[in-house]
Structure 1
């Protein structure tokens, strides 16, 4: 097993029985180009499955180190409220059996408020998000448990040890699991004399870099509360007191002498604050400070006196570091004859109740927003549904005219987000339409990245599946922009099943147009076509590639298609699947390509309303019903006998230097064409919109250019010298 480097990105490969051969080929030790090609495919396939990532980032996806309890997984999958809970209160905060009973009481409070508790702990080197009753008991009794903060996680895991997670470690685990609300007793802070000792809790820096809402009773009075609040401000953490006052609480006391920057009065306001923080993608947390209940605050003065005495004893005995807080808490409990423990339990119970109410309010708000989004999509712009693939693309472009196998080729590698269905839905979304996008991804980091990128789209129809990998695609292109090699790990597209898509039958039946990506299973295509036939819905089929172009044509499903946008090879496959005569070799000259495209389009137009045949650098041939000297692109209400014609539009010029990505030009063309059709533009404007969108795509590192807007593809606004007069041809 050896290591090879792809543009400074290390890839580990062990092909069976052969030495390592890295991406773009060193060629050493292989007798033939054929061998090198085989190894290239193996190496590229591995890159696709794992992503072009560093060794470190691959290790960061090691889910074997994290275990999410089934009850927590189910609640998260169903968008139900979940509350994360720390476990140092079990291992270090209270003596047994108070620690165990308190932990179970807190979980019971969370459940009573309608949320699912997810106590976080480390057991034998694995981080558990959600603990069973037996696991809680194990942590409560374990005398060798460690106190696990961010810095301790690597060591504890590497040694297979157990421990209770502090605020920082619990935040890390909760965020990884997708839990936005975390309840604790109190957070750590800047210790007294911290300006000299630099003794500052990792809880504060974690709040500055992990987007979690932490519900706590403020910070303990043994800390420097003023400097703690200043440090939180420096970290960009939004701090708000929960309740009728802006007084910042000091754990056992509702008042610390300091004021919070902000205040939220109820669970709904707190949920709005959290939702706004998450929507802004600030990557920092929120601290919600909840005062101790008044009935227990009366003991605050007694407890504060005990705390001061304990602090003095701590200094005298030289207790430092992580041992300070447990020592003080135990001493205070002794001095107050258990009253501090009762108050501690009371405030934790109260925090659990308030945090659960906030979590429920947040879940409700998120659900309502999704429903409002669906409602808006079911209104004016809900008449388009796109079903197809979503994947992560890796585009490698050489810097030489020819790529040489047997040596490392200079070039660049970039990551973007693609998938034919996603690209078309993205294009439509940027052009003023709001299609419902139905697809499937894995429950992995690739999925998180691509869905975060697609926030401008309606992705409510995208399923995230456990034990599945998000689709990945790798394209190697030459300096001139031509595709040299493309490899895809698209297995998850087979999970876009008829059964899953049937959940959206109401939206499909009410749509004006459904766009299908050839990556989805044949049974799904047949199902959608049957719905379309029953409800007179127009279907646009994007073949994706020659192998998948045949799918609707394996049965009579193709007769329910209205539009399709194949290239010449895909058009030939469609005809061949129907048993029609096709040329063995496709022509290379433009005139011959146009002649073959017209001949192959004719039999399909017996049922299809329109064909948009893409010819690469040769432009676009639009074939369909003749209407006033052009092709009628507007959806037809019923099938009637028509006079057929075709119009050829030359492509816009894009130089090799301008070409950055060839994976999304056809999808951009289709998306802009569909948008133009729904804007009821004339055929000439629709096609020119498509050509402009394709040109933007070619010059962008992304399949769909982020600069794509209605104005950027408006033929009346965009001045170009490339427009050539379209050529009209009769088919009949």
Structure 2
């Protein structure tokens, strides 16, 4: 017979920290490890927690894995002159594909966790503090004393056109398979994993392998054409791949002229193991795989948009797609039908248009209500989702 008060105390400790170890539980409760294991086994049988991850059924999060960094934009106030000092204004914001997706998801009311790498500097502390304030669980983040957090610095001319950009993203290489193995419990307890291709190729392969073994759905989000080389050739276990036309062409190894060529490239990816694919096309909307369409692809046009700053719009699209698939399936994503993916892409386009209409990387007033109604009616201008 179990000691009911001890079992309830243990349960509350797990609620407070789903990543707590059995040894920590034993120490705090004054129990042996074997007694703790027995209590946990009882809670699992009662379906009050889900297996070894100690995750409560109503709290399974979307777990985002990948880059966080500090974004800097330097804009000259006059004509740019090379080889000398130029007067400029500086804007700083929090960025990184995985971080941006996580913030959008948290603002949409989704239980969200972030596994990322930051340095032990002021930028790293600020990145995590901002994420936690937004409602993101950062306990799984890798904190590296003596290292500098990732940065992305863009130099813009007086017209706002980018002259050059410098990215220091080497810290993401520390998110290797050995580190990810230390977060296995957290990953196994997720409802959905969303990872960006800033991760090392070996880590992407490990996530695919785990997705096949553990059954936790995996969504991969491309970040650039060069980093498509990090995507393994075999992709079984991948539920959804989100990328733009240029990234798809980089994967295919050829130019893609028109919808037929894009469809052929998507079918090649599906033959390699991907279940569904979404191809963003800037102001021309998106294409997504659709089993009921004669060509295997369906198209959605982008809503009208007032363009202020396109930064973060692609990440917003990916976040809204994941949020829609997560909520449409009752807090899980075990695959989708054509109508689920169509709705997810419509919501993604809505959030993208909201994001490019504001100066911030993440639309600051975002709530689920923004994606439940019709697309906002705002003036049209050319934009780029990515």
TM-score (norm 1): 0.41
Contact conserved, 1:443 with 1:464, CA < 8 A, in 2? Answer: yes
Cα distance 1:719–1:547, how it changes in 2: closer, same or farther (>3 A)? closer
Cα distance 1:572–1:482, how it changes in 2: closer, same or farther (>3 A)? farther
Partner of residue 675 from structure 1, selected from 319, 323, 333: 323
What residue is the counterpart of 1:600 in the other structure?
265
Q: Secondary structure at the match of 2:266?
A: helix
Q: Secondary structure at the match of 2:140?
A: strand
Query: Is 1:439 the equivalent of 2:116?
Result: yes
Q: CA deviation at 1:689?
A: 1.6
Cα distance 1:428–1:481, how it changes in 2: closer, same or farther (>3 A)? farther
Distance 2:358 2:221 in 1: 22
Contact conserved, 2:102 with 2:319, CA < 8 A, in 1? Answer: yes
What are the superposed Cα offsets for residues 386-434 of structure 1, whole Å, 9 maximum, x if unpaired? 110111111235679x977578777643100011111111111111211
Contact conserved, 1:474 with 1:487, CA < 8 A, in 2? Answer: yes
Contact conserved, 2:103 with 2:362, CA < 8 A, in 1? Answer: yes
Cα distance 1:713–1:722, how it changes in 2: closer, same or farther (>3 A)? farther
What residue is the counterpart of 2:299 in the other structure?
648
Q: CA deviation at 1:620?
A: 1.5
Distance 1:673 1:484 in 2: 32
Partner of residue 386 from structure 1, selected from 44, 54, 64: 64
Q: Find the structure with the greater CA-based Rg.
A: 1
What residue is the counterpart of 1:619 in the other structure?
285
What residue is the counterpart of 2:239 in the other structure?
562
Q: CA deviation at 1:672?
A: 0.5
Query: Is 1:548 the equivalent of 2:218?
Result: no
Distance 2:362 2:376 in 1: 21
Distance 2:80 2:299 in 1: 33
What residue is the counterpart of 1:475 in the other structure?
154
Cα distance 1:460–1:377, how it changes in 2: closer, same or farther (>3 A)? farther
1:57-206 to structure 2, matched below 5 A, reads none
Higher relative CO (Cα under 8 Å, sequence separation at least 6) belongs to 2
1:310-329 to structure 2, matched below 5 A, reads none
Q: Secondary structure at the match of 1:525?
A: helix
What residue is the counterpart of 1:508 in the other structure?
187
What residue is the counterpart of 1:659 in the other structure?
308
Q: Secondary structure at the match of 1:651?
A: coil
Cα distance 1:445–1:483, how it changes in 2: closer, same or farther (>3 A)? same
Distance 1:425 1:388 in 2: 10
Cα distance 1:383–1:495, how it changes in 2: closer, same or farther (>3 A)? same
Contact conserved, 1:508 with 1:531, CA < 8 A, in 2? Answer: no
Distance 1:703 1:688 in 2: 20
1:290-689 to structure 2, matched below 5 A, reads 371=17, 378-397=56-75, 412-455=89-132, 456-477=135-156, 483-553=162-232, 555-556=233-234, 558-576=235-253, 582-583=254-255, 592=258, 594-606=259-271, 607-626=273-292, 645-655=296-306, 658-660=307-309, 662-680=310-328, 682-689=340-347
Distance 1:646 1:479 in 2: 41
Q: CA deviation at 1:469?
A: 0.8
Q: CA deviation at 1:549?
A: 1.2
TM-score (norm 2): 0.74
Q: CA deviation at 1:682?
A: 3.7
What are the superposed Cα offsets for residues 486-534 of structure 1, whole Å, 9 maximum, x if unpaired? 3210111011121111122233234342211101111111111111111
Question: Mean Cα displacement is larger for which, 428-437 or 504-513?
Answer: 504-513
Aligned length: 323
Contact conserved, 1:509 with 1:537, CA < 8 A, in 2? Answer: yes
Distance 2:149 2:302 in 1: 34
Q: Secondary structure at the match of 1:647?
A: strand
Contact conserved, 1:515 with 1:540, CA < 8 A, in 2? Answer: yes
Cα distance 1:482–1:370, how it changes in 2: closer, same or farther (>3 A)? farther
Cα distance 1:604–1:524, how it changes in 2: closer, same or farther (>3 A)? same
Cα distance 1:370–1:413, how it changes in 2: closer, same or farther (>3 A)? farther
Distance 2:55 2:353 in 1: 29
Contact conserved, 1:605 with 1:624, CA < 8 A, in 2? Answer: no
What runs of 5+ residues in structure 1 fail to find an aligned partner? 1-366, 577-581, 630-642, 724-732
Q: Secondary structure at the match of 1:461?
A: coil
Cα distance 1:399–1:568, how it changes in 2: closer, same or farther (>3 A)? farther
